[in-house]
């Protein structure tokens, strides 16, 4: 028992996610589609460069 309340909450959350539409940042989208390189994206999001740990000769 108690499944009804849990299912109702899951349905509420799913419906909220389905119909949620955040404001779109068209300028950021334009910059991204304008040809930003992988290096630019890595710098923007502070992503460390990929390293291959298997080649430790």
Q: What is the mean pLDDT of residues 31-36?
A: 82
pLDDT band at 45 (very low <50, low <70, confident <90, very high): confident
| pTM for this model (two decimals) | 0.36
Q: How far apart are CA 26 and CA 14, in angstroms?
A: 26
Give the containing element (helix H, strand E) for 45. Answer: helix 38-45
User: What is the number of other CB atoms lying within 10 angstroms of the CB of residue 39?
Assistant: 10
Distance set, CA 50 to CA 11, 24, 39, 42, 56 (Å): 40, 30, 11, 10, 14
Question: Between these two residues, 29 and 47, which has the higher pLDDT value?
Answer: 29
């Amino acid at each position: 028992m108690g499944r009804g309340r849990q299912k109702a909450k899951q349905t509420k959350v799913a419906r909220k996610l389905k119909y949620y539409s955040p404001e779109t940042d068209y300028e950021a989208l334009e910059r991204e589609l304008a040809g930003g390189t992988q290096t630019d994206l890595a710098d923007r999001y502070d992503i460390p460069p990929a390293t291959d740990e298997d080649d430790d000769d």
